[in-house]
Chain A
């Protein structure tokens, strides 16, 4: 077995009486897409935040290529977040600079890691806009003039431009029309394959998980009740909650 890129064990976090995470183990290897599914409030976003070092757990460990993420200084964590990691927010407004042009949004991470050649930055921005199917002539427009789906594609371009190895995605298709969602999922799938990306994606959508994910984790009230290969979990769910989740989708 290959050693995981990210390896977390025993993650526990309570908000007062609310158990957001209880003894969660999760790992992801290079090029793997792992989906986290579960009902609202089950701790999915909290898990992403803890794994990406944005929030400290009460207990547990998170290792990135053997390095202790929780013990890392803020400078090191931020550097990781703009080089080897990326984070795609559910609401593109949380992940974009709305007062900065599309090209500036894509270029920011390049500039943050030291790119100082305007022509090259612009060239990269154009090539990434093309990858996420945004017309080149929108490069100088502000994201607020974009549709929700375009904003989300812009956020993805902005995140992937520095070629991260692992991307955290928190319901990247939430709030979009169904047809737009489908195209965005296709895009995420093809980019992750093309770039050999590891993706940890939170979704409510079982169909999306089936389309994208190699593996699935099912969460309920802070507990991972079931995990395994996507087809196995969805075709032969073991835990009653997973069975309910899968059947309710089939029924819908």
Chain B
């Protein structure tokens, strides 16, 4: 513990706050997909930097945990590095870039390609927890719609997409039904990642700092993406192989390589891509 900052409680939040968040988390786990209000605290990072996810992580972290932080699929963006550094300093926990080694994964924008295990927890940073917010701005009304499982409105939105574009145009934050009961925002992950949430072995926790909401999906819970019988949900990815590891079943980012319009498609999950490259290398040697 000698490397941690003096004067802070373990993982920055005081014990009372952590208990409050854990109570909200327990409620959230008990009612999969249902948003639980919590008394979000000010964090030493601005909203939009994952303060909701950070508070959830702080509330569940123990000294023996190993933390991985993903931002846009990568471990080495400014945001990911600063969150990792934050927890190294205030909790002294080990960090890793390897999904397989992590006990807690805090993420923005992606779910790792590697299947998560029962002994892992994934924490999502959520900017807008309410999937109906753009269709119905009144929170009292959205609360009522959830209470009555009255989700026709969300299907109207998808109908409008098909009428206008010929297909459901939502590529991120694609709404899901959790456990056949609650409509839930999966946070701005690509729709490609939605199927990974379905019956995931790991516990999934969601924290929205600005909106002060927590929700959860317990392990092995049904998570279905909304769709129509004649326009079934399709997890879309760029139709290419990764330029680095040749994968054809991972989510790809498009990278501009030069001023002449050269571009490449590479795995957005940098850890997974590196692992595949290493394996290929070993096999070649």
Q: Which residues of A contact B (CB under 8 A)?
A: 74-75, 78, 82, 97, 100-101, 103-104, 107-109, 111-113, 116-119, 121-122, 139-140
Contacts and interface: CB of A to CB of B under 8 A. Distances in A.
A74 B148 contact: yes
Contacts of A116: 155, 227-229
13 contacts: A74-B144, A78-B150, A101-B164, A103-B159, A103-B163, A112-B150, A112-B153, A116-B155, A117-B228, A117-B229, A118-B162, A118-B231, A121-B159
A111 B152 contact: yes
A-B pairs with lowest CB-CB distance, top 6: A112-B152, A111-B155, A118-B228, A111-B152, A117-B229, A75-B148
Interface of B: 144, 147-148, 150, 152-153, 155-156, 159-160, 162-164, 227-231
B67 to A, nearest CB: 41
Given A104-B159, A116-B228, A117-B228, A140 B150 contact: no
Nearest to B163: A140
A108 B152 contact: yes
A121 B156 CA distance: 10
Contact of A101 (B144, B147, B155, B160): B160
A100 B156 CA distance: 8
Given A108-B152, A109-B152, A112-B152, A119 B230 contact: yes
Nearest to A76: B148
Nearest to A114: B152
A122 B148 contact: no
A112 B135 CA distance: 15
B230 A111 contact: no
Contacts of B148: 74-75, 78
Contacts of A100: 156, 160
Given A78-B150, A118-B162, A118-B231, 9 more contacts: A74-B148, A101-B164, A104-B163, A108-B156, A109-B152, A112-B150, A112-B152, A116-B229, A118-B228
A245 B162 CA distance: 52
B280 to A, nearest CB: 43
A97 B164 contact: no
Contacts of A101: 160, 163-164
A103 B160 CA distance: 8
A109 B153 CA distance: 9
A122 B164 CA distance: 13
Contacts of A111: 152, 155-156, 159
B147 to A, nearest CB: 8
Contacts of A140: 163-164
Nearest to A102: B163
A103 B162 CA distance: 11
Contacts of A74: 144, 148
A129 to B, nearest CB: 13
Contacts of A104: 156, 159-160, 163
Nearest to B228: A118
Contacts of A122: 163
Nearest to A121: B159
Contacts of B147: 75
Contacts of A139: 163
A113 B151 CA distance: 9
Contacts of A97: 156
A118 B159 contact: yes
Nearest to B154: A111
B230 A107 contact: no
A101 to B, nearest CB: 6
A107 B229 contact: no
A30 B150 CA distance: 28
B146 to A, nearest CB: 12
Contacts of B144: 74
A185 to B, nearest CB: 30
A122 B144 CA distance: 28
Contacts of B150: 78, 112
Nearest to A97: B156
A73 to B, nearest CB: 9
Nearest to A74: B148
B160 to A, nearest CB: 5
B77 to A, nearest CB: 36
A32 B153 CA distance: 32
B158 to A, nearest CB: 8
A104 B153 CA distance: 10
Contacts of A118: 159, 162, 228-231
Which of A97, A104, A117 has most B Cβ within 10 Å?
A104
Nearest to B145: A78
A100 B152 CA distance: 13
Contacts of B164: 101, 140
B222 to A, nearest CB: 17
B176 to A, nearest CB: 15
Nearest to B164: A140
